[in-house]
């Protein structure tokens, strides 16, 4: 399996691709929020399916999850997951509503749209950078938002995938906003789950033989 052949060098390449995508996303978010945004990818790693759940806080942890499918030369699933309180704080600043709360019952349309737009910007930037680097055509579908337990979100997103790899590419994501304390910054995880045949396409393009 290709995932068994991944070295720290390949992960460093994926991290560099992630940081290129983060720089593009930061520019878009700066325009959206009308203030300086800095984004970094502190770490990229490959983990097991169970480890992915734990990184997101455990299967019973409530999170804001954005799910989309990847199409083109590479197919698979992608999730952006962050603690629900971080999502609340980010959307409150974005829509200028201090009372906004994803867990208050009915989610406002503007809040849901804002969160989906965040997912759109982040996933689009990352996948565009991966596409540019590998020469593969990679397209994201429209993102879907869910506020639920990690296990439920990921299981639902993968229900249409008949063969799931045992390994997941994790892209840590840190979004730092101007005038926002570090402890209130967004710290989320991108989980990239290529369909099994797409692992080969990605890692061949990255030079794994």
pLDDT band at residue 80 using 50, 70 and 90 as cut-offs: very high
Give the pLDDT score at 209. 53
The domains of the chain are located at 2-205
Distance CA 50, CA 69 (A): 21
Q: Give the E-state strand segments of the chain in sequence order.
A: 37-40, 44-48, 62-72, 76-83, 138-140, 144-149, 167-177, 186-194
Instruction: Measure CA of the first residue to CA of the last residue in the chain; give whole Å.
Output: 11
Q: Are 103 and 147 in contact (CB under 8 A)?
A: yes
Is 2-205 assigned to CATH 3.40.1550.10?
yes
Statement: residue 11 has pLDDT above 90: no
Long-range CB contact pairs, 13-16, < 8 A, 24+: 13/133, 13/206, 13/207, 14/44, 14/169, 14/171, 14/206, 15/41, 15/43, 15/44
Mean pLDDT of 195-206: 82
Distance CA 192, CA 203 (A): 13
In tens, the pLDDT along 32-49 reads 888 888 988 888 998 887
Q: Report the share of the chain in percent with pLDDT over 90.
A: 23
Closest by CA to 175, choosing from 17, 5, 32, 36, is 36
């Amino acid at each position: 399996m290709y995932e068994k052949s991944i070295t720290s060098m390949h992960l460093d390449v994926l991290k560099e691709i992630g940081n290129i995508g983060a720089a593009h996303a930061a520019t878009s978010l700066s325009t959206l929020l009308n203030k300086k945004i800095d984004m970094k990818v502190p770490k990229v790693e490959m983990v097991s399916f169970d480890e992915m759940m734990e990184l997101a806080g455990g299967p019973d942890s409530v999170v804001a999850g954005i799910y989309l499918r990847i199409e083109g030369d590479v197919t698979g699933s992608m999730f952006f997951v962050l603690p629900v309180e971080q999502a609340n704080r980010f959307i409150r600043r974005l829509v200028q509503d201090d009372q906004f709360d994803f867990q208050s019952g009915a989610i406002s349309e503007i809040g849901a749209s804002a969160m989906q737009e965040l997912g759109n910007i982040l996933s689009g930037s990352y996948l565009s950078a991966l596409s540019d680097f590998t020469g593969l055509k990679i397209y994201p579908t429209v993102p879907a938002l869910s506020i639920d337990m990690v296990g439920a979100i990921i299981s639902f997103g993968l229900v249409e995938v008949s063969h799931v790899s045992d390994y997941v590419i994790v892209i840590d994501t840190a979004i730092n906003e101007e005038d926002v304390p570090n402890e209130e910054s967004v710290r989320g995880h991108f989980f990239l789950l290529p369909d099994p045949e797409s692992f080969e396409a990605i890692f061949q393009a990255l030079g794994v033989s």
